[in-house]
Copies of this chain bind each other. A is one copy, B any other.
Amino acid sequence: MLLKKGIPMGYIFGKIKYEILAVTVYTLAINVLYYQYGLKEISIPLAVPMVLGTVLSLLLAFRSNQAYDRWWEARNIWGAIVNDSRTLVRQLMSLLDGAEETEELAHFRQQFVKRQIAWNYALGQSLRRKDPLRGLDKLLSRRELNYLARFDNIPAGLLQMHSRDLKYALRHEWVNAYQQVELDRTLTRLCDAMGKCERIKNTVFPATYSLYTHFTVIFFILLLPFALIDSLGIVEVPLVAAISASFLLIEKMAVNLQDPFENKPTDTPMTSIARRVERDLLQMLEETGQVETVMAEEEEKYYVL
């Protein structure tokens, strides 16, 4: 079988069932006009929708490409977030080093790692416009939660706290200036990833383009029955429905892919990525005991796109 499991047929065709119904009724109506009322002159040459079909194909190809690029970029950014979270913890383990390995330093590290785990969850939540603080009380201290209250942008607040901790570590000589800057660069990369997610979230795909494509699709579908009625008669009804379904599904898919952070079943799987990162980071911290995840129950309603 060609396809991975995951999306029930019903889900896919459910999205366009009203459109297909409308197309069917419309084509039937034209057949009635043609056969009942003998309006033979309404037929148009097939070449007209063919010209339009070529343009439309290119419009849809362009649109699919850009939508796919947005979706793939979103996945790349979250891939980079996974990598940089691991790198951050690896650096905390190997660059941070006190004169002796004290209790305080161990606690500092643990808190830092948990805050990074919290950052992943918070970023995912806030991109989906849900409460970014949900479940974070298991990971953050009371003092940290208070500090965050001041920020509109919770993930930005968490990075700010990371940064303050690095300054604290420099003052305690757990890192030297050089190592501090190196850790700061990892924070910069995380900050960049956050900004890129926000950019994709906040930049609407050019509405004019979507609109023109949509109009051209509709216009093409409206012309199609007139072009096929002469040679096919009533047989054209399923054919027009099927061809319309092709074009409408491609358009829908582009619409789905182009906004990868909406709260939809075919979303970027941010929560499950955050959960995987949580497990990895805690193993790196050698805290395998308490791997009870923050958001275990949630993902069921998302399909694997």
Contacts and interface: CB of A to CB of B under 8 A. Distances in A.
Interface of A: 2-4, 6-7, 12, 44-62, 64-66, 68, 71-72, 75-76, 78-80, 82-83, 86-87, 90-91, 93-95, 97, 150-153, 156, 159-160, 163-164, 166-167, 170-171, 176-182, 184, 187-188, 191-192, 194-196, 198-199, 203-204, 206-212, 214-216, 219, 223, 228, 231-232, 235, 239, 242-243, 246-247, 249-253, 255-257, 266, 279-280, 283-284, 286, 288, 304-305
A305 B207 contact: yes
A192 B83 contact: yes
A280 B156 contact: yes
Given A62-B64, A228-B48, A94 B184 contact: yes
B188 A87 contact: yes
B58 A151 contact: no
Contact of A246 (B164, B180, B215, B251): B215
A3 B207 contact: yes
14 contacts: A2-B255, A3-B210, A7-B208, A45-B46, A46-B47, A51-B53, A62-B65, A82-B199, A94-B166, A156-B280, A176-B177, A206-B253, A206-B257, A223-B239
A251 B2 CA distance: 9
A203 to B, nearest CB: 5
A55 B246 contact: yes
Nearest to A197: B79
B90 A191 contact: yes
A266 B208 contact: yes
Contact of A95 (B94, B181, B286): B181
Contacts of A178: 177-178, 181
A279 B95 contact: no
A257 B97 CA distance: 46
Contacts of A91: 163, 184
A134 to B, nearest CB: 21
